[in-house]
Structure 1
């Protein structure tokens, strides 16, 4: 898995690329939480649920169904997120789905159960350049630094380049450039 900080990169990049004020702060916060939430399944280790189990790490919480459930919840809470129901569902759904997709590009683990409950198969991307992150207790060592550098190279820099490119091609409307 990428680090929890890197999972936040996708909703943050979408927010940076959007016109100012288009994604409200509560919606951004929901997207960041949704992008990180699938890794709450590491609690399965404390409950002695095997990694390869459907409810183990990278299991059900890394599925399309989980992303759809969070998107539905966001749609129901759209007023609190200061967004339309469609905007809330799309932003939270994409943010949640970004998590297993990033995990699929990592160099280790058992893959992600993207199609759970329809299939228990764990999937990896055909190309896996992102170093898998060590767990929290083992993060502050050479392997953790290597992971951060890998994420910088394969996630953060491409996203920053994409956002800057998007902003150059689609400048902010004149009304928002003149706003205080």
Structure 2
């Protein structure tokens, strides 16, 4: 009796449940942003640190549109990378993508974002770009997409790129040097 009832319940759940998809189509824009509280070194030190990373350690070039403004605490740069969909025959096909990295700081901390991804779909005309989300939609409409899954492939590559940039920047910002090491190793002022 128990096994029959359990079997009926399981069959009913399978019959009436909605089909689940392992991977769904994600329409959210590809971006990464984070707000980081940093009460210590202050706006000027944060700005210098962020600008230094963009000028000397930003590894996603060639870059364009580098701007820094100490008064507003903002640093911007447009970086370049690649995404690699595959052709219907299974060969890799590189496309250039451009994205914006924006860093802003205040006395209370900083925020940064990686976004505004655009794809160069015509290598003969590198100034003509389309938003990456639009390019991914075009890939999803292709007849060979059921085999190549280029829409998911390109979205995953761009998402990984945004995460990689963010991790690199955050790691650099977290390794800020100590501003005053004259008290290292000395007992606290209250005797503890």
Q: TM-score, normalised by structure 2?
A: 0.28
Q: In proportion to residue count, which structure has more strand?
A: 2
Question: Which structure is richer in relative contact order (CA contacts within 8 A, separation 6 or more)?
Answer: 1
Larger radius of gyration: 2
- The TM-score, its normalising length taken from structure 1, stands at 0.29
Name the structure with the higher helix share: 1
